[in-house]
Amino acid sequence: QVQLEESGGGLVEAGGSLRLSCTALRPFFTYDTMGWYRQVQGKQRELVASSRSGDTKYADAVKGRFTISTDDAWNTMYLQMIDLKPEDTAVYYCHVQDKVFQEIRDSWGLGTQVTVSA
């Protein structure tokens, strides 16, 4: 399993901004897929943003507001969030997927809480 560590969550007012960070020992370009998920209590974990083979995808609820990116060294993955809404409140998880001995491996961070007040 790949060790991932998230940071940057917190409490903000509606309309505010946050930037989440995820660090890994291996550069993120070595993974087949990288992305961010979020989960609220009592609901399924959902994909927020992902990057695969240079193609980025976003959930409809966050299009135009969230942006996934990396730093120049590919050692940190970011989720820039603007115009935050109360419905964005969730635990956000960093995720990568790669292959080990031809088997698909999914790795997750422990999550960081994002709370948006009305």
Tens digit of each residue's pLDDT (9 = 90 or more) over 22-79: 998 888 988 999 999 999 999 999 999 999 988 999 999 999 999 999 998 888 999 9
What average pLDDT does the structure give for the chain? 95
Indicate the pLDDT class of residue 21, thresholds 50, 70 and 90. very high
pLDDT of residue 88: 98
In the predicted structure, residue 15 carries a pLDDT above the cut 80: yes
In the predicted structure, residue 1 carries a pLDDT above the cut 80: no
pLDDT of residue 35: 97
pLDDT of residue 25: 80
List Cβ neighbours of 109 (8 Å cut-off, separation of 6 or more).
4, 5, 6, 22, 93, 94, 95
Q: Which residue has the tokens 């994002």?
A: 114
